[in-house]
């Protein structure tokens, strides 16, 4: 069986925001979101827990919501954490004192990212480096342990999957696309001769 890496997006954050914010407020929201754990009562799907229990290694971002998610997936198990799996910094658009609901800020950031992709603009070099280093680390773990389940974040996971594909890892399965607790499975295409 070829080596396997499962990239899981963390569960829902305990940090909830309502109301309107400006660019500075967006950064404060981001800081609070990164400091928060999981929503009380949050539970992973049982199929995902089974994958975690079968994995040769379970690793997670060192942010509280990812660590807590990994602990729910593998209660009492050994979980390594790494800043390499942290979410990518997405600064707010420079709109001065303009205020909007959080969903509008998220949409604007997503549109900025999509516009860059349409123009074939590469992600920032720091983001590419982080994804490449995380990919190499996970590949090394998979070579030792056979399979790795990594609890990470939405935007990093996308770049990380691309970095793995550049290293001839193939996407085998994507559940839930970008939803919380969604899982993307990649297998080592280098070993199968493809």
Encode pLDDT of 164-190 as tens digits.
Answer: 999 999 999 888 788 999 999 999 987
The verdict on residue 84 lying in a domain is yes
The set of residues, in sequence order, having a beta carbon less than 8 Å from that of 60 and lying 6+ positions away, is: 10, 66, 67, 69, 70, 79, 80, 81, 82, 85, 150, 151, 152
The verdict on residue 193 lying in a domain is no
Range of the domain at 41: 4-188
Strand 79-82 to strand 20-21: parallel, antiparallel, or no bridges (unpaired)? unpaired
Predicted local distance difference test score (pLDDT) of residue 91? 81
Encode pLDDT of 53-63 as tens digits.
Answer: 999 999 999 99
The total domain count for the chain is 1
Helix, strand and coil percent figures for the chain, each rounded to 5: 45, 20, 35
CATH code for the domain of 176? 3.40.50
The verdict on residue 75 lying in a domain is yes
Encode pLDDT of 107-158 as tens digits.
Answer: 888 888 888 889 999 999 999 999 999 999 999 999 999 999 999 999 999 9
The verdict on residue 38 lying in a domain is yes
The verdict on residue 143 lying in a domain is yes
The verdict on residue 99 lying in a domain is yes
The verdict on residue 194 lying in a domain is no
Stated pTM of the model: 0.92
Encode pLDDT of 62-118 as tens digits.
Answer: 999 999 999 999 999 999 999 999 999 888 888 778 899 988 988 888 888 888 889
DSSP string, 128-141: HHHHHHHHHHHHHH
The verdict on residue 58 lying in a domain is yes
Encode pLDDT of 20-58 as tens digits.
Answer: 999 889 989 999 999 999 999 999 999 999 999 999 999
């Amino acid at each position: 069986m070829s080596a396997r890496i499962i990239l899981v997006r963390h569960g829902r954050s305990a940090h909830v925001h309502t109301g309107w914010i400006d660019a500075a407020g967006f950064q404060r929201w981001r800081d609070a979101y990164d400091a928060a754990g999981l929503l009380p009562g949050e539970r992973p799907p049982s199929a995902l827990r089974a994958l975690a229990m079968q994995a040769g290694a379970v690793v997670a971002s060192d942010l509280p919501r990812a660590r807590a998610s990994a602990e729910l997936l593998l209660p009492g198990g050994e979980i390594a954490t790494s800043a390499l799996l942290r979410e990518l910094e997405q600064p707010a658009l420079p709109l001065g004192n303009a205020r909007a609901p959080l969903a509008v800020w998220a949409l604007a950031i997503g549109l900025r990212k999509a516009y860059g992709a349409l123009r074939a603009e590469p992600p920032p070099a720091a983001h590419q480096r982080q994804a490449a280093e995380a990919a190499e680390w996970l590949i090394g773990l998979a070579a030792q342990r056979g399979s790795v389940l990594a609890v990470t974040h939405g935007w990093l996971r996308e770049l990380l999957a691309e970095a793995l594909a550049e290293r001839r890892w193939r996407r085998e399965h994507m559940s839930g696309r970008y939803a919380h607790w969604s899982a993307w499975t990649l297998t080592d295409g280098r070993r199968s001769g493809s």
